Chain A
Amino acid sequence: MARPLVGFHDGCALHGALATAAAIEGVTPLVHSTPGCALRGAFSSTGAQNFRGAPIHLSPISSTNLAEKHIVFGGASRLREQIKNTLSVLPRGLLVVITGCPTEMIGDDVPAMVREAVTQGEAVVDVGAAGFLGSAHRGYERLVSVLASRVGELNLAPASEAPGLVNIFGIVPRYDETWASDLDEISRLLAGVGLTANPIFGPGGGLSSLAALPKAVASLVLSPWGLAPAQALQEKSGVATVVADGLPIGADAVEKLLRQLAAATGAVEETAIERLLSSERRYEDFALDETLDALSRLGRRRVALVGNSLLAGSLARFLVSTLGWEASALVLTDEPDGPLPTDLAGRVVATADGVETAAAIRASGADFLIAGARYGALAAELGIPLAAIADLGGRASLSGGFVGARGAARLLAALTATPVAPKLFTPQAALAAR
């Protein structure tokens, strides 16, 4: 049922599905909906400021741009025409037809149009991702689940054998802003112990990555949104599912993840894990030494964290277990299904609503905020430092991310770079502290 959202996070399911499809090299997204649906997602997911024209950062998005007559009389024939001409204008690969709210409401027979193309030997698949089905993360979940469960039907070139292949699920391109960097660093870590990451998205992924999904020894699930795709693949192809505690931030989290994968796959040698962990710990030691002066000046902080479930919980875990800070509030803006992780912070809320988020931050009594840049005004009003981990624009995908010891180092740099107002002794503050 509808609920008012003010100053909210995220796009809709269509936007998430679109961003996900567009992040797979060789996939052409075709949005079957009215104009505007696709571009709202394409622009907003990168913080673009200009309204005019096409999004420069994405590969072309085919769209039926339905008119009033299609709403009245149906848009199936328009879709047929668009599929045919998309195959002519854009490079051939996999065409993913994503349906929006209007076409779901008017009842276009999209599967029939897609079947027509498939029977002619074309690689086309349809995914229902109407915006009213939920968040952008839900759109990722729906699209990747369809691809995982139907990968054998997609007319893709067969994948070559890759021993120790691990599918990575749960990182949502663009909506988890550091997605490309995080996938890259996870790939590097897995390679360090003899595994091969199958990232699907970004420069390391592509159609061959999709085709290889059933050949993996395991599917690594890094956020709740990766669970359904991994389970779909497990049901269809028997690939084991390994559920991790979000992004592995810092050396300890890397160790836990590698041992989980070693146990699940039996394909990792202990010596390889120890060698990699030694290197990760040395890097983290270096980062802690470099920032220790600033950290000690900053003191122990009570932090309010606002972010997606991929990142926010892992950040809280690192801050508490490695820095000894206190997570006073955790706001999960992607509203994941299932029970909330109540062990991570004093107050845990799942909401996409900006007003509820601000209220949770205020109520937490935090003296440090880790959140999107949009909360800068609130941090200034509360007089607390803000380390911005979201709303960073498209460049965040190149930022290096937060995975591993290197990610922890970037986090430490961000925390200690944040200007802190000097703590002044005042009688009122002393009295309040009693």
Chain B
Amino acid sequence: MARRPRLQTRETRLGALGARLGDAESVVADFAGDDLPQKRIRTFSEAAHDDLSAALDVLGLVEDLGLVVHGPRGCAVGPGAAQESATLARIAVTDLDQRDTVLGAGDALARTLKRLNDAVNPAALVVLGSPVVAINNDEIRAVVAEVATEIGKPVVWARTDGFRSHIAATGADAAADALLNIVDFQGEREPDLVNLLTSWTGPAIDDFAAAISTLGLRVNVLPAGAKVAALHRAARARASVVLDPDGLDALASGLSERFGVPVLDAPPPIGPKATALTLTRLADLTGRKIHAEASAAAVDFLRDKRIVLAGPSAFAFALADLAEAAGAEVVGLTLPHLDRTHSEPLARFSERRPKAQIHIGEAQGFELANVLQRLAPDLVVGAPDAVAAALRLGIPAARLDPADVIGVSGADAFAKAVSDAFAGAALARRLARSSARYSAGWLRRSPDWHVKLEVK
């Protein structure tokens, strides 16, 4: 059996950066040449996510998938979708102990796969690697092949290890690779079927799917809330629309490369204008007629307000468009990572706001506190931890999940969040009186004092 090449990390594949602070035009320069941007590392860091958690989060979205984490028991608990009761029931762990770290535990993996299969009868099984088995070089591939034959259903390996990449989204790529290895392409192409790739569910997603249906297209929503059958169908679709490019870009491009399903080239459909653009391009791609218009006139409810946006990178750039349409000055973006897939929206943003600060770093609260304190925006919108950091500095802030702003109604959801944040500023004032979480010395220092170029 030929050994598959190692899964490329986001750093290698797309030149991803996970640590960076600079104005927009300097960050654009990082991605300008043919060479990958030079990697930066932190000499101090707070706890960060890894590829295993990201993979577990994506794979946990598929409702009839059994997941086996090959590692100590703690490796199988996780944030996100994996926390939900229904998902917990179909996650198993080999629960390695100290002896296994010395002698290996291939048998334990086989036993765990079979036990989970007996217990919940999933449509397919995925094994996720942990740091312990990666260090120990435990054989996973052979066990997976053997058990698949024995139980007569797909068993695949999501190649996570916890340390090769510092970009957690590499785990989403490992998950995509595993999901694509489950796909069984049978039958013929379905020209009226469109994949809607989303990590989120909710009314706004449903509305957007309904909007696609008005083009006379059927919508195959995955992986959130989907079953394995939807993966098989995905390979027969006419095109894929990606709502969460940062998490699901690899799944979309894999469907394109392996099964010839093209990916719609459009920014995330956030707000009326971007939604109309997405639907128009989809109509063009699938040969449909459309009369989509960005009907609502822009309302400048953020006139003269300085705002910082936080969240998954593609989402944050799309939200920046919406904020500027509402009259805001976007003075900063705080993003988990940045890579070549973001070059175009980054360049467009930089043209408008060359001096806006781009902060790249996931779960690094000390950086957020320092950057937000210096920028002193009127408002922070987006990711929960950035919102919490802002509130603790006394800055009004509103949490906004990507799932809330997808589609035409996204602009209204954004306007409501902004309005509520200003109206509810009492919480920010109260939290600003709580004890400081970081030393005064750190808050006086340059916020990227600890970020260094990696010496190869």
Contact = CB atoms under 8 A, between A and B. Distances in A.
Given A1-B97, A89-B44, A131-B72, A40 B79 contact: yes
B132 interface: yes
19 contacts: A1-B100, A3-B95, A4-B94, A4-B108, A5-B93, A6-B120, A31-B47, A36-B49, A41-B74, A53-B385, A62-B46, A90-B439, A102-B131, A102-B135, A132-B100, A134-B97, A135-B73, A376-B85, A377-B85
B254 interface: no
Contacts of B164: 67-68
The 7 closest A-B pairs by CB, nearest first: A12-B74, A36-B50, A51-B80, A53-B385, A43-B79, A2-B108, A85-B44
In which size bucket is the chain A interface? 35 or more
Interface of A: 1-8, 10-15, 31, 33-44, 47-56, 59-68, 70-71, 81-82, 85-86, 88-92, 101-102, 104-106, 130-136, 352, 354-355, 373-374, 376-377, 391
B405 to A, nearest CB: 15
Interface in B140-169: 162-164, 166, 168
A57 B385 CA distance: 10
Contact of A65 (B48, B86, B105, B385): B48
Contacts of A36: 48-53, 131, 162, 168
B438 A89 contact: yes
B151 to A, nearest CB: 14
B392 to A, nearest CB: 9
B83 A35 contact: no
Name the residue in A12, A31, A89, A352 with the highest tally of chain B Cβ atoms < 10 Å from its Cβ.
A89
Contact of A11 (B74, B91, B100, B336): B74
A9 B121 CA distance: 20
B88 A52 contact: no
B54 A51 contact: yes
Contacts of A89: 44, 366, 438-439, 441-442, 450
B119 A6 contact: yes
Nearest to A2: B108
B436 A35 contact: no
A90 B438 contact: yes
B79 A132 contact: no
B49 A51 contact: yes
Contacts of B119: 6-7, 355
B386 interface: yes
B10 to A, nearest CB: 13
B92 interface: yes
Given A6-B92, A88-B439, A374-B88, A54 B108 contact: no
Interface of B: 41-54, 57, 71-86, 88-101, 105, 108, 111-112, 115-116, 119-120, 131-132, 135-136, 162-164, 166, 168, 311-312, 336, 362-366, 383-386, 388, 401, 436-439, 441-442, 450
A12 to B, nearest CB: 3
Most buried by B among A8, A66, A377: A8
B365 A54 contact: yes
Contact of A34 (B44, B86, B131, B442): B131
A59 B164 CA distance: 27
Nearest to B57: A51
A37 B77 CA distance: 10
Given A66-B163, A68-B164, A105 B88 contact: no
Given A89-B366, A89-B439, A37 B89 contact: no
Contacts of B51: 36
Contacts of A135: 73
B92 A131 contact: no
Given A11-B74, A88-B441, A391 B79 contact: no
B48 A35 contact: yes
Given A40-B78, A106-B135, A352-B73, A61 B47 contact: yes
B45 to A, nearest CB: 5
Contacts of B131: 33-34, 36-37, 71, 101-102
A39 B78 CA distance: 8
Contacts of A104: 101
A34 to B, nearest CB: 4
Contacts of B362: 52-53
B48 A7 contact: no
A35 B94 contact: no
Given A36-B49, A37-B74, A41-B77, 18 more contacts: A2-B95, A2-B97, A7-B92, A11-B73, A35-B47, A36-B52, A39-B50, A51-B54, A53-B336, A54-B47, A54-B364, A65-B166, A89-B44, A89-B366, A102-B162, A131-B74, A132-B100, A374-B89
A67 B78 contact: no
B85 A88 contact: no
B77 A54 contact: no
B108 A3 contact: yes
Given A11-B74, A15-B74, A354 B439 contact: no
Contacts of B48: 35-36, 39, 63, 65
B95 A91 contact: no
